[in-house]
Amino acid sequence: MKPSVEFRNISKSYDNQTLVIRDLNLSIERGEFLTLLGPSGSGKTTALMMLAGFEMPTTGEIFVEGQPYSALPAHKRDIGVVFQNYALFPHMSVAENIAFPLQVRGHGPKDLDRRVKAALDMVRLPEISARKPAQLSGGQQQRVALARALVYEPKIVLMDEPLGALDRQLREEMQIEIKSIHARVGVTFVYVTHDQGEALTMSDRVAIFRKGVIEQIADPQTLYDRPCNAFVATFIGDSNLLRGTIVGRGGGQATVAMPGGGTLDARAGDNGAGKDAYVSVRPEKIDVSAGCIDRGVGNILAGTVDKTVFFGDHVKVSIRLEGGQLLAVKTGTTEPYKNGQTVTASWRAEDCVAFTAPPTRDTAVVETTVQV
């Protein structure tokens, strides 16, 4: 079966000088929920706009179910869109808003009523069809926008930060709602967000954008457990990144000497030849014990408690390691730690990974002269 969407060698420049998308190759399966995640300015919206037909690629071609799409105007593409600020028409009722894309496509009144009703049922808003958008909450407005995008049964639905304006609780409810609508309609969803929690909960796969390229594309678990570089490791979830020096390598493993003494065993995250190491370890993978205790789990570093923060269901302990680096640990709430107390942090070698390049979080677009 042909992929639902294929970006083939897509580059994009708005000013013929800088590339905001650089040679993007991306294949999206039919019915997949793919999220584009990345820092501000990394090119997520631009990629989505090109698929929607609101922007043209500078080079390359976009295919939808095998058909070249770049030359096709936006209104002829079989694609529904929902944006954070994609306002509903204020003078029209909810039902009229949802009917609008059907009227544009020449559907008759009978078919129109049936489809509008089905779309409202789908987003669980059957009772508000006569209201105007101003009489709806933010969450209800986004549901209507979603119903309007789905009503003509497009092949693909694009959403750009659709929950950005909602408060946290409503955001979480809507995430579940959108996910269940996706499961029911089986349409390809391409979703843009800069909220990594949202990306991990909702997606089949997540593409991590940085400076116009995809750093890694994988299912959420793989991204979390097997980040391909230090940027992805720190962008997805919380991660410590300890600086050290590589003193040994082999069999996919690396040994890293720490500035305050002692060594760490880690998975080798790349084949870089450099000696500088950035060891990524998640706070929830670390055990902490009072005093100097070797639990025999692998890596052990000593330090003193710098700070503890209570989160209700867990406590975050910040440990100042010998050598001065800080290590964040997520622990249970039963064992209280005091500032200045001597502790030992330990974790298994397979729970940490050593990279040789630092995570540059800058969002500046790479200056590249475009050949057009």
User: Which stretches of the chain bind ligand ATP, using CB under 6 A?
Assistant: 14, 20, 38, 40-46, 194, 365
Distance CA 10, CA 26 (A): 9
We find the least distance from the C-beta atom of residue 278 to ligand ATP, in angstroms, to be: 24
We find the least distance from the C-beta atom of residue 83 to ligand ATP, in angstroms, to be: 11
We find the least distance from the C-beta atom of residue 249 to ligand ATP, in angstroms, to be: 35
Instruction: Tell me whether residue 44 or residue 282 sits nearer to ligand ATP (CB atom).
Output: 44
Q: For residue 12, what are the β-bridge partners?
A: 21
Instruction: Tell me whether residue 20 or residue 156 sits nearer to ligand ATP (CB atom).
Output: 20
**Chain length of the chain:** 372
Distance CA 359, CA 203 (A): 24
3-state helix, strand, coil in the chain (%, to 5): 25, 35, 40
Instruction: Tell me whether residue 23 or residue 322 sits nearer to ligand ATP (CB atom).
Output: 23
Return phi, psi of residue 53, to 5°.
95, 10
Instruction: Tell me whether residue 9 or residue 17 sits nearer to ligand ATP (CB atom).
Output: 17
CB 114 within 8 A of CB 106: no
We find the least distance from the C-beta atom of residue 45 to ligand ATP, in angstroms, to be: 3
Instruction: Tell me whether residue 155 or residue 194 sits nearer to ligand ATP (CB atom).
Output: 194
Q: Which of helix, strand or coil describes residue 313?
A: coil
Instruction: Tell me whether residue 231 or residue 355 sits nearer to ligand ATP (CB atom).
Output: 231
We find the least distance from the C-beta atom of residue 47 to ligand ATP, in angstroms, to be: 7
Instruction: Tell me whether residue 200 or residue 354 sits nearer to ligand ATP (CB atom).
Output: 200
We find the least distance from the C-beta atom of residue 206 to ligand ATP, in angstroms, to be: 14
We find the least distance from the C-beta atom of residue 18 to ligand ATP, in angstroms, to be: 8
- Strands, DSSP E only, in the chain? 5-12, 21-28, 33-37, 59-64, 67-68, 79-83, 156-160, 188-193, 205-210, 213-218, 240-250, 253-257, 263-268, 276-281, 287-290, 299-310, 315-321, 326-331, 342-347, 352-355
- Inter-helix orientation angle 109-122/94-104, to 10°: 130
